[in-house]
Amino acid sequence: MTNRQLVSSGSYLEPVIGFSRAVRVGNIIVVGGTAPIAAGGGTAGIGDVYVQTKRCLEIVAKAIVDAGGTMADVTRTRLILTDIGLWQDAARAHVEVFGEIRPVTTVMQVSAFVDPDWLVEIEAEAIL
């Protein structure tokens, strides 16, 4: 089996749920549902999906870099929202990072996240 590299973001939920922020196997990096957790804890940008999306993308970018990739290697993203009516604000933050890279992207709505202050989570996949 190819080497398996686990990447942690330090989320308080990683040991509670038993997950890694990202996993790299060979030339593939997969980043799990990434919430807008502020650097000092708590939720970044409460009530503002644009700010929350930017924070999620910062965490995703760090995980990808920590696994040996760059955002230019991202081939897929998923924007997961609790209110699909806010998709344009999330998309605005997404295009700031991926406007030239243009990975395949899914935008979808779910009923809730673990923390009710989270309006968005992001997943990403990269191929090196």
Task: Give the pTM.
Answer: 0.95
Residue 12's pLDDT band (boundaries 50, 70, 90)?
confident
- For residue 2, the model assigns a pLDDT of 66
Per domain, the residue ranges of the chain are: 4-127
Name the nearest CA neighbour of 70 among 25, 21, 127, 23.
127
Helix (H, G, I), strand (E, B) or coil at 41: coil
Is the domain spanning 4-127 CATH 3.30.450.90? The answer is no
Phi, psi dihedrals of residue 77, rounded to the nearest 5°: -135, 155
Q: Over range 39-56, report the average pLDDT.
A: 96
For residue 20 the two structure tokens come to 């890694």
Average per-residue pLDDT in the chain?
96
Tokens at residue 49, please?
């999906």
Q: What's the average model confidence in pLDDT over 68-90?
A: 98
